[in-house]
Amino acid sequence: MKRICVVGVGYVGIVTGACFADLGNRVVALDVNQKRIAGLKKGVMPIFEPGLKELVDRNVQAGRITFTTSYAEALQDTEFAFIAVGTPSSVNGEADLQYVASAARSIAENMTAPLIIINKSTVPVGTGDWVADVVSEAQPEPIPFSVVSCPEFLREGSAIADFMNPHRTVLGSLDREAAEKVAQLHFPLRAPIVITDLRTAEMIKYASNAFLATKISYINEIADVCDAFGADVKEVMAGMGYDKRIGPQFLDAGLGWGGSCFPKDVKALAFMARQKGVEPRILDAVTQVNYDRRRMVVERTAAMLGGLQGKTVGLLGTAFKPNTDDMREAPSIEVANNLIAAGASVRAFDPVAIETARDLLPQVALYDDPYQMADGCDALIVITEWNEFKQLDLERIRSLMTTPVLFDGRNIYNPAEMRRMGYTYQAIGRGSEGNRDA
């Protein structure tokens, strides 16, 4: 059993801490946000993630994970300290490292024995060296430490499974022995471990996320070409995905990517490239294609309705993806704002993210029931591909709507079946009218 401190109980930190505890380690999860820590002590999770509450509760009862706001308490007899704080993106894409700096200084001021400090937050290339400098300067007296980069590759909605069954673990350090000690923490996961230098490990994270974002933007552009030629992008995606060099993952045409990772990581990588005199042409195009999706859905809905002024439009979903309440960079925000700017009244329903939406969508009427939300709507737009939406009584929905117009932003319905029920229906990349038979 190893003693581990995890600084930050946001999305990455709480999942990392709970999973390491479940592997039999003693974990102290620290956050300067007293409300979050007080909530965790009462069993209230700071985020929605399937299975997380059960995982945390089990390890709290077993005494393997505790929560504190005290660095001195968290670092007592600790061997490993993971920094898992936020690194939000500025307007120009530069990552904001103030929380990383604060965590590094606090660790330096409170450590009493040799320590391995592990950057779990997504940070710009070179941050590991910078963290080492911050710690050295902030220490009251010199105590040996090493810095290791261990980027996370967790997907919201399946983070626990991703942690416990990773495709690989990436570790970077100038201290090979320290990297190997961190590798030992991950041995029970039985996944390949890549050990490299600090900067290469940091780049692997950005390059991986930017590539996946590129794959999504690529298939969305192909979807537009499919619409122009009357081809079906779902069949195109299937045909492409059988090629092992391509694979089917992240080839789902829709409203693009959002969330806490892809938007800021693509912007940050583009910013870093420019800082070094490299023009990130592909990265810029990836971002442009993605944000064009939000305008596209509003334009097409307006065309289906003959204008948006005075119309009532309902959004099925507000979260950026299913199985999370996260609305960071969610398409729903820009879509709703653009609809309102065009004169529409907007409603929304989401199985999980409605409370999150209250602050982010103040002009949107939020509903706890999809049928009540649909009652009186002139059009519906599928924003998030929740499984619940695939099981809706669409005949009932149609009877409640003023006009049965539905824009399927995630291609979750069968176009022929929707036409049979009397909907004016469009999907993405399903043919020139958006209504090809499945």
- Same domain for 187 and 270, yes or no, is no
Structure tokens at 316: 């099925």
CA 1 to the chain's CA centroid: 31
Query: What's this model's pTM, rounded to 2 decimal places?
Result: 0.93
| CA–CA separation, 68 and 40 (whole Å) | 10
Predicted confidence at residue 90, as pLDDT, reads 82
Q: Are 4 and 18 in contact (CB under 8 A)?
A: no
Which residue type does 232 have? Answer: D
Distances (CA, A) of 198 to 131, 132, 171: 11, 11, 8
Residue 300 included in any domain:
yes
Q: How far apart are CA 261 and CA 12, in angstroms?
A: 11
Residues 373 and 398 in one domain: yes
User: Which residues does the chain have with pLDDT short of 50?
Assistant: 433-438
* pLDDT at res. 436: 46
Last residue of a domain, one of 196, 220, 250: 196
Strands in 203-361 per DSSP E: 312-316, 345-349
CA dihedral 301, 303, 306, 308 (to 10 degrees): 40
User: 3-class SS at 235?
Assistant: helix
Find out whether 330 and 319 touch, Cβ atoms under 8 Å. Answer: yes
Indicate if 19 belongs to the active site. Answer: no
Q: 116 has which bridge partners?
A: 80, 146
- Both 242 and 170 in one domain: the answer is no
Residue 413: inside a domain:
yes
Please indicate, yes or no, whether residues 119 and 226 belong to a single structural domain of this protein.
Answer: no
Task: Say how far apart CA 394 and CA 391 lie, in whole Å.
Answer: 8
Is 68 inside a domain boundary? yes
How does pLDDT run across 184-203, given as a tens digit for each residue? 999 999 999 999 999 999 99
Residue with tokens 């999980």, as numbered in its chain: 352
The CATH number for 390's domain is 3.40.50.720
For every residue of 36-54, DSSP letters joined together read: HHHHHHTT--SS--TTHHH
Q: Which residues contact 257 (CB under 8 A, 6 or more apart)?
A: 213, 216, 217, 263, 290, 320
Dihedral of the CA atoms 87, 90, 92, 98 (nearest 10)? -60
Q: For 49-63, write each residue's pLDDT tens digit.
A: 999 999 999 999 999
Domain end: 170, 196, 222, which one?
A: 196
Same domain, 161 and 279: no
Q: Do 242 and 286 belong together in one domain?
A: yes
Closest CA to 13 of 35, 28, 34: 28
131 in any annotated domain: yes
Neighbours of 48 (CB within 10 A): 18
Q: Are 387 and 352 in contact (CB under 8 A)?
A: no
For residue 103, give its domain range: 3-196
Angstrom distance (rounded) from CA 218 to CA 289: 8
Asked if residue 91 lies in contact with residue 85, where contact means CB atoms within 8 angstroms, the answer is: no
Quick check: is 192 in a domain?
Answer: yes
Count: domains in the chain = 2
- Looking at the domain assignment, is residue 435 inside a domain? no
- Is 270 a member of any domain? yes
Is the same domain home to 148 and 260? no
**In-domain check, residue 438:** no
**Of the residues 166, 196, 226, the one at which a domain ends:** 196
Which among 5, 19, 150, 261 is annotated as catalytic?
A: 261
373 with 233, same domain: the answer is: yes
> What is the rounded distance in angstroms from the CA atom of residue 260 to the CA atom of residue 239?
30
